[in-house]
Amino acid sequence: MILFDPFFWEVFISGLLAGVMYALVALGFVLIFKASGIFNFAQGVLALFAALTLVGFQTGQVPFAHLLEAVFGLHVTHWGDGMPTVLALLLSLFVMIGLAWLIVKIVLRPLVNQEGIILFMATIGLAFVLEGVGDLMWGANVKRLDVGLPEGPSDFLLDHTGMFIEKLEISAAVVAMILVASLMLFSQYTKMGRALRAVADDHQAALSVGISLETIWWVVWSISGLVALVAGVMWGAKSGVQFSLSLIALKALPVLMLGGFTSIPGAIIGGLMIGVGEKMFEFYIGPMIGGATENWFAYMLALLFLLFRPQGLFGEKIIERV
Amino acid sequence: MIYREAGDFKTTYKADQETFPIRLDKVGFWLSVLIVVFVIPLFLNDYWEKAVFLPFFIYAIAAIGLNILTGYCGQVSLGTGGFMAVGAYSSYKLMTSFPNLDMFVVIICSGIVTAFVGILFGIPSLRIKGFYLAVATLASQFFLVWLFNKWEWTYNYSATGQITAPERDFLGVVVTGAYSAPWATYLFCFGFLFIFGWMARNLVRGHIGRSWMAIRDMDIAAEIIGVNPLKAKLSAFAISSFYIGVAGALYFSVWLGAAEPTEAFSIDKSFDVLFMIIIGGLGSMTGSIIGAAFIVLLPVVFKTVLVGLLGWPTDIAEFTQIILIGSLIIFFLIKEPHGIAALWRTLKQKLRLWPFPY
Amino acid sequence: MTIATQDAFTTDDGRLIGPTLLEVKGITLKFGGVTAIENISFDIREGEVRAIIGPNGAGKSSMLNVINGFYHPQEGEVWFKNELRAPMKPYQIAYQGIARTFQNIALFKGMSTLDNIMTGRFTHMSSGILAQALWKGSAEREEFVNREKVERIIDFLEIQQIRKTEVGRLPYGLQKRVELGRALAAEPKLLLLDEPMAGMNVEEKEDMSRFILDVNEEFGTTVALIEHDMGVVMDIADRVVVMDYGKKIGDGTPVEIRKNQVVIDAYLGISHD
């Protein structure tokens, strides 16, 4: 019986864990969308940029080294041996917060009254800019990311259940859960959290009670930056820091379509559903049709889902008024 | 004063409807066409043909197609790469299955096949709108690329998975394969651009074009005036896909000569064409062409200037290019959402009155 | 109260009012738990100007939406030209000859005035895709025939100077006029106007009233309009339907309605059964 097949559980749990990673990236989207109605296509690139910056600090890289060499002939690639991971993480976080500020000032403010689709395309532009800047600053070669997380298969699980599950993925799941829990606590119980919820509900009303839109956006994009940093670290530790990291953003899209763009629990459940669905489909049906179905399965699933429920599982119903 | 318009009043609707109401514009346009058709081919070499003109013409056709769907009808699509693949593979199957078929027919038929695929993938647009639709089109993009990788029939069971264009001709002149003359491929592609560009212009100024724009601006009001949303959206998908399919077919058979789906028709292509119409101008035929020229020429300019002149390494040139394109997108969206085409129109307005401010 | 088809008659000022054009019978419309319209019946006769009035939230716009086919009532029937309307989509109803304007202006903001009004001719244009792509010949001819009609409407509404302006840039009053033009372009049998005078000053209201009356007199178009300005209603309406809280509380000529105590109470906010 399939439920007793350890392979089934291995695939299932592996799917769940992958799903957690997706959910993490999707979370960043949901936060920004809730607070500013913007669908941030650049979320994946933010994760990539954050990871690149982290590695850069960790290994003592000089930013823009390659460019400086080309233009001025300077041959400096490293300023030393790097810095301890904790410090690197903190500095990276500061960079992300500063980046959030720049984004709000340069991109968001001028576009404040535009329709969603224009903002969406602006974030596509932003994604390209960030990708280019990230590559220019830190180089485009694949980098290894090590933040001291446990690696290798979980011996405990392997010995007791015969399942091969990466410790890294378990850590990622734990971190993600802590992050989500803190975010929910933050949004429910702190003053800033309340302000964020107010802005998400109604921009005008929030403005009229004295909440500064720009500050809120900065906070939201910074939190997204934090989520991006965590996502970048998790994905980077798993598969190395490289361009394909930004493509994860594309994967988060079906997650959002399933879970609805405005729901945090939706992002989680959507992520898990996609993660499990993908792995299951590829494992059981993939071999019959040539494999590599993970490239498109998530999208097809989301598409079919949308046809029956255009607003996703938890999203708000779109009511058309004349 | 450079741009004279005094006494240039229209007395018939026909005159008012013309594509180039201002005499100077009209003369300028036809002069350019004459130069393109008769002068440039005389000086054309392989490099200019392959690196500049063919991609320009081909992407212009694709941009017109995408603009019809996204700029005029408001349906955002990120599936352009996948649809170009449909056009390309259709042309391959037609060329290899019917060796005596004239290339013109091959290309048109490829476009028609793509139109049908476009209708299929356009059906979700009846329920799904906005970002959701954009994401749904990603499904078509990834699925189609996967399909052409896995479905061996499409590449005639070749071991490499690659498709290569056999030598075929148009009215006796070879336009595909290694022995095609630059001027032949050049004129062939330009011919498609000219004819289908003209037809696209006609479509958008008639009641079908208006029904598309009505759907884009307010689909509920469009219904109230009698527009059947199903018909309007699917016609936009169909015609848009036709153009993109034609572009894809030309892209593979005339320009590249060989292709492999993951690289040639990836999501990067979809973004490229989208950027062309954003920068060029959404909802503008001229914009599609300007945008295509821009995106095609930029890397060439960058390479010549940064790498050739300044001696920068190619990867830095690439990164700078990406940054520039991204920044331009943001810039245009902020300053002039209607792209270069609108800037051009404003410039012409100013030129009409120059040197007087009013 | 259903009125069977009656003979036509001529009004004091020489207009011909014909038999019943549209009739709604027993319409009930609910949204979830809220009843927007409750068992309303009334008719609109050919050639007349019928006003629908009532306090805010009475369900007037919803009533128009039902006539338009945008909302489907849970109960009741809509009869048009003596035929029961089968379930139809709004765009099919447009082909029947019903056009309307909206409270919040539903113009196509990205198009010019001319193009917007041309869209109103949609139901009269039928050339196929290929014909349009080739343009010369039938498509071009059709375009010009319709362009002429649209130009006449533009003259009628005196908006020649904004012909090529993008409607998104026009002031509110002009936008309302363009929207009226678009509705007129359809050459409708029945014109539904949802608060056409909203937000206008006295002069603009006079202009708009004149246009509506001209349309009714010259083209014989039947007009149903939702209006809040009682002065306008008294002046231009032949008959009035009064709604309150989704129910019909009055139906008759303006003079009769003005004396109706129930109506007066409703407007003064005095609760009634």
Give the ipTM of the model, two decimals please.
0.87
Secondary structure (3-state) at C30: strand
pLDDT value at residue B244:
97
B8 beta partners: none
Give me the pLDDT at residue A212, please: 80
Higher pLDDT, A304 or B295: B295
* pLDDT reported for residue C268: 67
**Dist CA B109 CA B86 (whole Å):** 11
Confidence at residue A121, expressed as pLDDT on a 0 to 100 scale: 82
Tell me the pLDDT of chain A (322 aa) as tens digits: 666 676 788 888 888 888 887 888 888 888 888 777 777 888 888 888 898 888 888 888 788 877 777 777 777 778 777 788 888 889 999 999 999 999 988 888 888 766 677 788 888 889 989 988 988 888 877 777 777 777 777 777 777 766 677 777 778 778 878 887 887 777 777 777 777 777 766 666 777 777 787 888 888 889 889 988 888 888 777 777 776 666 777 778 888 888 877 777 888 888 888 889 888 888 888 888 877 888 788 888 888 887 887 766 766 655 544 4
Is B233 near chain C, with CB under 8 Å?
no
Q: Is the Cβ pair C186, B225 closer than 8 Å?
A: yes
pLDDT beyond 50 at C68: yes
For C158-184, what is each residue's pLDDT tens digit?
999 999 888 988 998 899 999 999 999
The pTM for the full model equals 0.87
Q: Identify which of C17, C19, C23 has the alpha carbon closest to the alpha carbon of residue C5.
A: C19
Q: Strands, E, within B111-243: which ranges?
A: 163-164, 169-170, 173-174
Plot region of C14 (φ>0 → left; ψ -120 to 50 → alpha; else → beta):
left
The single-letter code of the amino acid at B330 is I
Say whether B211 and C122 touch across the interface (CB within 8 A). Answer: yes
Q: What are the CB-based long-range contacts (under 8 Å, 24+) for B167-173?
A: B168/B95, B168/B99, B168/B101, B168/B102, B168/B103, B168/B106, B168/B253, B169/B102, B169/B103, B170/B102, B170/B103, B170/B104, B171/B102, B171/B104
Domains of chain C: 1-91+223-273 (3.40.50.300)
**Contacts of residue C102 in chain A, CB cutoff 8 Å?**
322
Question: Hey, is the C-beta of A322 within 8 angstroms of any chain C C-beta?
Answer: yes
Contacts of C62 by beta carbon, 8 Å cutoff, 6+ apart = C29, C36, C37, C71
Distance CA B247, CA B193 (A): 9
Cβ of B326 under 8 Å from any chain C Cβ? Answer: no
Model confidence pLDDT, tens digit, residues B99-114: 889 999 999 999 999 9
Calculate mean pLDDT across residues B27-31: 86
**Crossing angle for the helix pair A213-239 and A85-103, nearest 10 degrees?**
140
Instruction: Work out the angle at residue A242's Cα, subtended by the Cα atoms of residues A10 and A12, and round it to the nearest 5 degrees.
Output: 10
pLDDT at A2: 64
Each residue's pLDDT tens digit, B118-165: 999 999 888 887 777 887 898 899 999 999 988 888 888 888 888 888
Nearest residue on chain A to C101, alpha-carbon basis: A322
Backbone angles phi, psi at C226, to 5 degrees: -90, 130
* Mean pLDDT along residues C229-253: 89
Phi-psi region of A198 (alpha: psi -120 to 50; beta: other; left: phi over 0): alpha
What are the helix (H) ranges across B18-102?
23-34, 40-43, 46-47, 54-66, 80-97
Please check whether residue B218 touches C, CB under 8 A: yes
Distance CA B84, CA B266 (A): 10
Residue C20's φ and ψ, nearest 5 degrees, are -60, 130
Band of the pLDDT at B189, cuts 50, 70, 90?
very high
Residue C25's SS3 state is strand
pLDDT above 50: residue C4: no
Task: Give the strand pairing for C20-31 and C75-80.
Answer: antiparallel
Q: How does residue C57 score in pLDDT terms, banded at 50, 70 and 90?
A: confident
The phi-psi region of residue C18 (left if phi > 0; otherwise alpha if psi is between -120 and 50; otherwise beta) is: beta
Interface of B with A in 207-226 (CB under 8 A): 220
How does DSSP classify residue A140? S
pLDDT at C108: 93
> What strands lie across the sheet with C20-31, from one edge to the other?
C34-45, C20-31, C75-80, C83-84
Q: Are C246 and C28 in contact (CB under 8 A)?
A: no
Mean per-residue pLDDT of chain C? 88
Provide the pLDDT for residue C24: 92
With 90 as the cut, is the pLDDT of residue C119 above it? yes
Sort out which chain C residues have CB atoms less than 8 A from A322's CB and list them: 61, 65, 70, 102, 106
* CA–CA separation, A169 and A59 (whole Å): 24
Please give the average per-residue pLDDT across B292-308, as a whole number.
Answer: 86
- Residues of C in Cβ contact (< 8 Å) with B216: 110
Give the residue ranges of DSSP H helices in B283-338: 285-302, 314-335
Distance between start and end Cα atoms, chain A: 55
Helices (H), A240-263: 244-259
Distances in Å between the alpha carbon of B351 and those of A23, B7, B336, C186?
A: 54, 16, 19, 39
DSSP C16: E
CA dihedral A260, A263, A266, A268 (to 10 degrees): 130
Phi, psi of A74 (to 5 degrees): -80, 130
Distance CA(B330)–CA(B332), nearest Å, equals: 6
Q: The tokens 């820091």 sit on which residue?
A: A241
Instruction: Please state, in angstroms and as integers, the Cα–Cα distance from residue B177 to each residue in B171, B253, B254, B260, C142, following that order.
Output: 16, 8, 7, 16, 45
pLDDT of residue B130: 77
Among candidates A125, A136, A253 on the partner chain, residue whose Cβ is nearest the Cβ of B326: A125
CB within 8 Å: B206 and C115:
no
Q: Minimal Cα–Cα distance from C106 to chain B, Å?
A: 6
Element (H, E) at C49: strand C49-53
Does the N-terminal peptide bond of residue C19 adopt cis geometry, omega within 30 degrees of 0?
no
Q: pLDDT per residue over B128-141, tens digit each?
A: 877 778 878 988 99
Are C2 and C41 contacting, i.e. CB atoms less than 8 angstroms apart? Answer: yes
Contacts of B11 (CB under 8 A, 6+ apart): none
- State the average pLDDT over residues B305-317: 79
Which residue is associated with the tokens 């009739």?
A: C23
Chain C positions with Cβ closer than 8 Å to B: 68, 70, 89-91, 94-95, 99-100, 102, 106-111, 115, 118-123, 125, 127, 129, 132-135, 139-140, 143-144, 147-148, 151, 182, 186
Residue A77 burial (CB < 10 Å; 0-12/13-18/19+)? Answer: middle
| Chain B partners (3+ C-beta pairs within 8 A) | A, C
The whole-chain average pLDDT of chain B stands at 87
Q: Are B81 and B145 in contact (CB under 8 A)?
A: yes
What is the pLDDT at residue A319?
52
Whether pLDDT at B303 is above 90: no
